[in-house]
Amino acid sequence: MKHIISLAVALLLPVALASGQANLHIQQKFYSTPAPGTTSGTASGGFSESLTYPQTHIMVDISKAGENSFTYALLSDDISSQGNFAYIQLFHEHKFWEEPLFLHAEYRSYGLDSHCLYLGAAYDFFTQHGMIAIEPLLRNDSLFSGNRLPVLRADATSVQLSIVTGHDWGWCNLNSFTDLWSPSRGGGRAGWYSEAWLYFPLNDWLQLGTISCFSWDFVSAAQLTVFLGAKFNL
């Protein structure tokens, strides 16, 4: 299954690059709050005490907007002395009416070992400088779990609310998302995960900024990690 996914990504990337907007992101961890069992976070040397090894994200994101649809792909590799961790996110939204209400289908892979499928809707609110999308979704994290063929277990299904924002003021742009999901009957925990990407354009092809990541499972201590990043318009 890992090889199939990797091959599909390799085949789809050239098509997406030829028809959509693509960006390369390089992000270096700068600060993190302490993990459970530690006492303090630090920005000393650019790294945190809770994760004492250097951590770099290299990402490519691709987006294509149509009159009634939006497609997005994110390929990420987390590089550290602890090894590499790959992440893939693919989603497509489509509407068949005038209202900005889209049908939403999404796939996420964590380390190519954990796979989540999302189905639901997205309603877009437009502002002067951007948009806000509200997405009620059904989430299932049992796809391919222990099997070579797609299998979805009912007890691995939970409800998720996602809030996605994107704003551009010219001198800076801010994009964010927040995922809040319920526990599943199979024992999966509830969770909260957010990211905010703040970038300042230097020219037409380079932007510099910060990326803030927040996570909390409502049981252990919440975690906040900040990266310094560069974004290249491909």
Q: Which fold has domain 2-12+27-233?
A: Porin (2.40.160)
Residue type, 96: F
Q: So what's the pLDDT on residue 16?
A: 57
- Please report where in the chains the tokens 């990211």 appear, as a residue: 195
Q: What is the pLDDT of residues 64-79, one digit of tens each?
A: 988 899 999 999 888 8
Q: So what's the pLDDT on residue 48?
A: 36
Residue 29's nearest CA partner among 8, 9, 56 is 56
In the beta sheet, which residues pair with residue 85?
Answer: 78
Parse the chain into domains and list their residue ranges. Answer: 2-12+27-233
- Provide the percentage of residues in the chain whose pLDDT is more than 90: 55
Q: Give the separation between CA 112 and CA 77, rounded to whole angstroms.
A: 11
| Tens digits of pLDDT across the chain (234 residues) | 444 445 555 555 565 555 688 999 999 999 888 765 554 444 333 333 344 457 888 999 999 988 899 999 999 888 876 667 788 999 999 999 999 999 999 999 887 777 889 999 999 999 999 999 999 999 988 765 555 555 667 777 899 999 999 999 999 999 999 999 999 887 778 999 999 999 999 999 999 999 999 999 998 889 999 999 999 998
- Please report where in the chains the tokens 């997405």 appear, as a residue: 135
